[in-house]
Amino acid sequence: MGLNYKTYIPESSTYKGGKSKDEVGAAGMKVYKMSSNENPLGASPKALEAVKKYSASISEYPSPVDLRFRTKLSEFYQGVLSPEQFITTNSGVANIELIIRGFLDEHSECIYCSPYFNAYKDFSEMMGAKTIDVPLLGKEFALDIAGIANAITDKTSVLFITSPNNP
């Protein structure tokens, strides 16, 4: 008796994280690594102060629906957007995964533009979707509007247009 798994799993690529500072560094050169959202300036003093202030409750999980935060966002936008129109996640990757899980399957397509954030392709392939890369143009990394328009089909469910190309 064999394992019952989705047919696209063996074809899915393995996530390849960014290189460490040591791996990309050159002798005598200062390296600022920002490929995985690192802050070369260190933590904000305001963030460090907030950690101190709330350290007693850091062990508690935040509200999974973030209603207070989403309500404040709605107020900030003067009610044009309701709290229900905001989605909050713990990271950009979690939000990308949420979008892909919600809209893609083995019958759909996802379009992105290279160079792209690996999560677009990786999560799309995990859902069995066809992935379509429409490369950015030239040194300016301009969107290929005609290429994107030509790539869209009735099966296109997700189109990632990002700037910069790392959420």
75-104 confidence digits (pLDDT tens): 999 999 999 999 888 888 899 999 999 999
Q: What span, in angstroms and rounded, lies between the C-alpha atoms of 82 and 76?
A: 10
Q: How confident is the model at residue 110 (pLDDT cuts 50, 70, 90)?
A: very high
**Average pLDDT for 137-162:** 95
**Same domain (yes/no): 77, 101:** no
- pLDDT value, residue 3: 62
CATH number at residue 142: 3.40.640.10
- 48-52, 53-57, 100-104: lowest mean pLDDT where? 53-57
pTM for the complete prediction? 0.67
Overall number of domains in the chain: 2
**Same domain (yes/no): 67, 93:** no
What percentage of residues in the chain have a pLDDT greater than 90? 54
Q: What span, in angstroms and rounded, lies between the C-alpha atoms of 80 and 25?
A: 47
Is residue 69 in some structural domain? yes
Q: What span, in angstroms and rounded, lies between the C-alpha atoms of 109 and 97?
A: 15
- Of the three residues 88, 108, 123, the one that is the final residue of a domain is 88
**What does the pLDDT look like over 25-43, one tens digit per residue?**
666 777 777 666 677 888 9
Domain, as residue range, for 125: 89-167
- Of the three residues 88, 118, 145, the one that is the final residue of a domain is 88
Q: Is 95 helix (H, G, I), strand (E, B) or coil?
A: helix
Is residue 107 in some structural domain? yes
Sign of the C-alpha dihedral computed for residues 87, 62, 164 and 47 taken in this order: positive
Is residue 27 in some structural domain? no
